[in-house]
Chains A and B, each alone.
Chain A
Amino acid sequence: MLNLSLLTPALALAGLALLILLADMLLPRGRERWLAHLAWISCAGVLCLLVRGLGDPAALGRGTLWTVDPFSQFFQTATVLAAMLCLLLSLDYRDLPRRQAGSFSALMLLSVSGLMLLTAAHDLLLIFISLELVSLSSFILAGFERSHPKSNEGAMKYFLFGAFASAVMVYGISLYYGAAGTTRLDAGAPPDPLLILSLLLILLGFGFKASLAPMHFWVPDAYEGAPTPVTAFLSIAPKIATFALLLRVYGAFFPAGRYGLQALLGLLAALTMTIGNFTAFFQNDVKRLLAYSSIAQAGYLMIGLAVGTPLGLQGAMFYSFVYAAMNVGCFAVVQAVGREGGYGLDAFNGLAKRSLGLSLAMAFCLLSLAGIPPLAGFIGKLYIFAAAVESGQYALAVIGVLNSVASVYYYFRIAQRMFLREAKGEPAALAVGPYVYGSLAAAVAGVLLLGVHPEPLIAGVRASARLLP
């Protein structure tokens, strides 16, 4: 059964991306920003399409290479939402070449549509193709500030690492084909050594995208060099979509417990959290600091996968959603501050005096990342740690909470500069673009509301934590 109609939202987005590329050639000079707006509207339209299909039996089902279930719908919605917020940021980002606004937004859309396919794929072929679609567009996006050496360096590293990870993954896929005789993941192959080896190699490839340690080395450089809206995008959308994939493959198709991978997943979670947090201590560039923070955050998500229970799955889903909100919020402020002062931590000195609202928003997002109640990040962590405690994985829970404590230290290095230090010279008011404000307001509202009133999202997660076989 082909059932191509199941993929309508993703394909529509890809089509719109191509349309924007085409329009970019025809549109007269100076009108390129129209295309950026058009891209945002396209995303909004696709979002409407997705939301209308939520839980609709007609929108669910299996195709040849894909499965659209409530689970994939949840992650598609989250990804598109995150992408919309990042596109908003890009509308106010000054260092983006104006002339290329069209191709920039088209690449974003292509990447999002790849991610949407990824969350629904149940066949390694589709997984590989959509991962490459995401990767290729992200490589270009990361290097979009061509005149900026760091951007070039980051993009190059990202590309080399990515190519390497892809190669390893393709090798894994070929082994999988040898072991299972098909590229379908639902073949129910028995756990023989060849299959497990192939699963490990595939995990390496996925781990690269999800920035799990020890496949995380590209992250700080790529994040530091990429234009800030792209950094925000890279730190969220590919990560949560890859987690959807990880949850599907290592949670549903090849339950880690049955294939003897549980200890490895737990180890990866612990390693990712710890390396991310403890390396973040020493960063003096906000983007690098947040890059390491995002690695650590992937570690918390990984706990949900390593636990492998329904509660763990729900926890990871909930946390991915709120993670998107808090990270967008942080990067929105970073972009607003970095526009004048650069991305050193010193740029945040005395921010509270320049703009109390912006500082409080940043503080809320950072506190949420650290898991301090009553913010959304706390409920997410509560969910994930609860899953670990429920399944008796106390070691993982203890490592998780200790990491949360450690992370407070570096998140507060930013808060400390904003509130406790004085800015050099007379504190000048900060000019913040309207689009950044919009994006920030949405993110902070999410962080606060989902912390104080998380019930709707929890109910949504519970209804969506249903994977079709």
Chain B
Amino acid sequence: MLSLITWAPLAGALIVLMLPKEKERAIQAVSFAAAGVSLLASIALLAPFDGGSAAMQFVERCAWIPSLNIQYFLGVDGLSLPLVLLTTLMSFIALIGSLGIKTRLKEYFFWFLLLEVGMLGVFCALDLVLFYVFWELTLVPMYFLIGIWGGPRKEFAAIKFFLYTLSGSVFMLLAILALYFRAVPHTFDILELMRAQAGWDPRFQSLVFLGLYFGVAIKIPAFPFHTWLPLAHVEAPTPISVILAAVLLKMGVYGLLRLCYQIVPAGFRWFLPALVLIAVVNIVYGALCAMAQTDMKKMVAYSSVNHMGYCLLGIAGMSAAGFAGAVLQMINHGVITGALFLLVGVIYDRAHTRDLSAFGGLALKLPVYAGLMMLASFASLGLPGLSGFVGEFLCFLGAFPSWKWQTVISVLGVIATAAFFLRMIQKVFLGALNEKWAGLQDMTTRELVSVLPLAALMIWFGVYPKWPLDLMNATLARMLGQ
């Protein structure tokens, strides 16, 4: 089943590659079918998934390169299943958003589906080499997706993204190799390594942690490795910004929890004080940067830095509430920021500017758009009743017992988050209508179809977060050794 979810997009990509490039409808249809198969299959996993068990489920295992003891080993638990669901959902929604792409469709959908394979594989893989292969597989499609269909500085943004992320992941590769040779017998099996780590000395664990952390920190992005993000997010076409924010950043946090925390826990504990500081800087500095932006897309991009800080803070709390908050915050951030990028794309398509001060009073002309944008913004800044609040609250709750003053500063950071979103709402939607935009149209059906499911999720998880939390609780409890 996991293989079906992971490889269906690849099958779609290969079919797209064989279609002649004039058949644009067929290309789109095949892409939707492939992503749809993944989405449906991942939803179908929910029924047989046992939320009360912390074990890996739907395990598929066979030898891939027996000489080096590398396996094809897939499985999901309460940590990865929500992320798989998030990936399939956001990919599908980004595909709806991709209907606006008009040039070089064949290549676009080919790279897009390949990207989806990589993302899904990362969350399913339980063998380090397989994990690394998928991890890197996301880079190349992303390079082309930003580089071909991006904004004015696309070439620079694309190569910067590629080189930046790659330089992190190669150190991850070295750490993986070090783990392989330390384990007896030599293995890349993540579960085996989790069991084997008890006997390793702390120095080795710290070194390996640093290697792994370097790879994931760039993806998260954790301060000071966040500088690739604003550029890549801003230059990428709308659907790709959605994917970048909603899924790619989650790969980093997932790697932190799955690899850094579970394989080298001693190294993780050693790094913890620094991690908390990084989390605080991410929250406060990210929010302040967002406040300084005049470009809406850039503002949302920096808000991602801010929100990933909450995740890090929750993780650093090392408590059930903190972990649950971090994972929930990953899901929420994916949904909310995905929606925000889609909405920013909507206005950019019409006005061809994203400058905050260029607008004003749009709520009069575009009531539906304004409503959705406000909903997403409020969810993002953590208004109680919407999903963002639950995740952030749990993160703070989980971190407070261990890190008092750090949490206090972070809570103050929330004010900055609220400030920049409210300022955006005020400048764009309230006040006198800028006559220049009197002719703007409200959202089309296609745009509504892509945003409404996300809006529904924001309200659902805000009112009733028990369902996503039930999925992950058993796994998180076991990760904490309870």
Contact = CB atoms under 8 A, between A and B. Distances in A.
Interface of A: 352-353, 356, 363, 367, 372-374, 378-379, 382-383, 385-386, 389-390, 394, 397-398, 401-402, 404-405, 408-409, 412, 415-416, 419-420, 454-455, 458-459, 462
A372 B163 contact: no
A459 B68 CA distance: 10
Contacts of A397: 174, 177
A373 B137 contact: yes
A83 B300 CA distance: 55
A416 B173 contact: no
Interface string B62-75: 00111110000000
Contact of B136 (A373, A394, A462): A373
B177 A389 contact: yes
Q: What 10 A-B pairs are tightest by C-beta distance, nearest first?
A: A401-B170, A373-B133, A389-B177, A458-B67, A405-B167, A420-B147, A373-B136, A374-B133, A390-B181, A386-B177
Given A389-B181, A420-B154, A455 B66 contact: yes
B4 interface: no
A177 B129 CA distance: 48
A350 to B, nearest CB: 11
16 contacts: A352-B104, A356-B21, A356-B106, A383-B68, A385-B173, A386-B180, A394-B174, A401-B171, A401-B173, A416-B155, A419-B147, A419-B148, A420-B148, A420-B155, A454-B65, A458-B68
A197 B170 CA distance: 37
A458 B66 CA distance: 9
B144 interface: yes
A302 B104 CA distance: 42
A409 B163 contact: yes
Contacts of B59: none
B166 A408 contact: yes
Contact of A373 (B132, B177, B181): B132
B170 A405 contact: yes
B140 A372 contact: yes
B389 interface: no
A394 B270 CA distance: 22
A19 B198 CA distance: 68
A462 B180 CA distance: 19
A394 B211 CA distance: 12
A385 B65 contact: no
A176 to B, nearest CB: 37
Main secondary structure on chain B at its contact with chain A? Answer: helix
Contacts of A455: 64-67
B369 interface: no
Contacts of A419: 107, 144, 147-148
Nearest to B67: A458
B139 interface: yes
Nearest to B129: A382
Given A405-B167, A416-B147, A385 B140 contact: no
B177 A408 contact: no
A353 B147 CA distance: 15
A367 B166 CA distance: 12
B46 interface: no
Interface string B156-189: 0011001100110011011001101100000000
Given A373-B133, A405-B166, A416-B147, A352 B159 contact: no
A373 B130 CA distance: 10
B392 to A, nearest CB: 35
A415 B163 CA distance: 14
B143 interface: yes
Contacts of A374: 133, 137
Contact of A408 (B107, B129, B163): B163
Contacts of B106: 356
A390 B66 CA distance: 18
Contacts of A373: 132-133, 136-137
B67 A462 contact: yes
B107 A352 contact: yes
Contacts of A458: 65, 67-68
B262 to A, nearest CB: 21
Nearest to B144: A419
Main secondary structure on chain A at its contact with chain B? Answer: helix
A379 B67 CA distance: 12
Given A385-B177, A398-B174, A402-B167, 6 more contacts: A378-B133, A382-B129, A386-B177, A405-B170, A419-B107, A455-B64
Nearest to B121: A374
Of residues A394, A412, A454, which shows the largest number of chain B Cβ atoms within 10 Å of its Cβ? A412
A3 B204 CA distance: 53
Contact of B163 (A382, A405, A462): A405
B170 A409 contact: no
Given A356-B106, A373-B137, A389-B177, A408 B162 contact: yes
Contacts of A367: 140
Given A372-B139, A373-B136, A420-B154, A412 B159 contact: yes
Of residues B65, B67, B104, which shows the largest number of chain A Cβ atoms within 10 Å of its Cβ? B67
Contacts of A404: 166, 170
Of residues A416, A420, A455, which shows the largest number of chain B Cβ atoms within 10 Å of its Cβ? A420
A173 B166 CA distance: 45
A236 to B, nearest CB: 25
Contacts of A408: 162-163, 166
Nearest to B150: A420
Given A373-B137, A454-B65, A412 B143 contact: yes
A379 B174 CA distance: 14
Nearest to B147: A420
B163 A402 contact: no
Contacts of A402: 167, 170
B428 to A, nearest CB: 32
A366 to B, nearest CB: 10
Nearest to A352: B107
Contacts of A385: 173-174, 177
A271 B154 CA distance: 34
Nearest to A455: B65
A301 B143 CA distance: 28
Nearest to A398: B174
Contacts of B147: 416, 419-420
A365 to B, nearest CB: 13
Interface in B106-146: 106-107, 129, 132-133, 136-137, 139-140, 143-144
Contacts of A398: 174
Interface in B436-463: none
A416 B143 CA distance: 9
A398 B136 CA distance: 18
Contacts of A378: 133, 136
A373 B167 CA distance: 14
A389 B178 contact: yes
Contacts of B158: 416, 420
Of residues B132, B162, B180, which shows the largest number of chain A Cβ atoms within 10 Å of its Cβ? B162
A385 B173 CA distance: 9
A356 B107 CA distance: 9
A390 to B, nearest CB: 5
Given A352-B107, A374-B133, A402-B167, A416 B159 contact: yes
Contacts of A379: 65
Interface string B456-472: 00000000000000000
Nearest to A386: B177
Contacts of B181: 386, 389-390
A372 B171 CA distance: 14
Contacts of B154: 420
Contacts of A372: 136, 139-140
A415 B64 CA distance: 30
Contacts of B107: 352, 356, 419
A287 B244 CA distance: 36
Contacts of B64: 455
A385 B174 CA distance: 8
A382 B147 CA distance: 28
A309 B307 CA distance: 47
